Amino acid sequence: MEQTPTEQRLAQRLADLRLEKGWSLEALAELTGISRASLSRIERAETSPTAALLNRLCHAYGLTMSRLLSEVEQETIQLLRPAQQSVWHDRENGYQRRTVSPPAQAFQAELVEARLAAGARIDYDLPPLAGLEQHIWILDGVLEFQMDDRVWRLEQGDCLRFHLFGRTTFHAPEATGAHYALVVARP
């Protein structure tokens, strides 16, 4: 499958980040638990990473997923119309993530629109940056969010605010899936 321009820029940015750190593919594989072969295919844009793999890479680089995805935007602007917003798909897990906020280095918060297909589940081993403040606002459907041993069932209109620590799971248990807004605030 041919990669979109966003996926191609993401692959290049991931390769650049590794080189900036001076890490070999082997070193990055050890840090993230992602095989060297998978990392190589991701950096060559032969495959797109799943959300869980991208989260591990973000953790290694000390970036939020929103920050990383905003870095692959072509230009810095104040107004970002829907057609200009970067959309990234984790086809394997039925996850779509749209970066709604215009990319900018000076701002501390980002707004993301996300959709999980019915039955989809994404497990993150660790946060990209521990202690991030996040808000999940359910626009439609149902989302079960788990952080370590705590589980919340979020329905349309519900908003959950938390500081991100530990393992997390996003699960859309209902036939409607889950459509939600995510605010990520950097410390």
Residue 129 vs residues 65, 76, 151, 186: alpha-carbon distances, Å: 10, 24, 20, 9
**In CATH, what is the architecture of 5-69?**
Orthogonal Bundle (1.10)
pLDDT tens-digit series, residues 134-155: 999 999 999 999 999 999 999 9
Q: Does 177 have pLDDT greater than 70? A: yes
- Read off the tokens for 119: 């039955």
pLDDT at 76: 56
Mean pLDDT in residue range 118-141: 93
- The pTM (predicted TM-score) of the whole model is 0.71
- pLDDT of amino acid 66: 83
Model confidence at 86: pLDDT above 60: yes
Q: Which residues pair with 163 in a beta bridge?
A: 133
Cα–Cα separations (whole angstroms), residue 176 to 56, 99, 136, 162, 166: 28, 22, 17, 25, 28
Q: State mean pLDDT over 73-99.
A: 84
What are the start and end residues of each CATH 1.10.260.40 domain in the chain? 5-69
Residue 149's pLDDT is: 94
pLDDT value of residue 70: 78
CA proximity to 122, closest of 164, 170, 165: 170
- Residue 68's pLDDT band, with cuts at 50, 70 and 90, is confident
Which CATH number, 1.10.10.60, 2.60.120.10, 3.20.20.140, 3.30.565.10, labels domain 78-185? 2.60.120.10
What whole-number distance in Å separates Cα of residue 98 and Cα of residue 31?
A: 28
- Look at residue 134 in the predicted model and tell me its pLDDT: 95
Average of per-residue pLDDT across 12-20 = 90
Q: What is the mean pLDDT of residues 73-97?
A: 83
Terminal-residue alpha carbon distance, the chain? 38
CATH 2.60.120.10 location in the chain: 78-185
Report the pLDDT value the prediction gives residue 1, as an integer from 0 to 100: 60
pLDDT digits (tens, 9 = 90+) for 38-61: 999 999 999 989 999 999 999 999
Q: Place 103 in a pLDDT band, splitting at 50, 70 and 90.
A: confident
Cβ contact 98:87 at 8 Å? yes
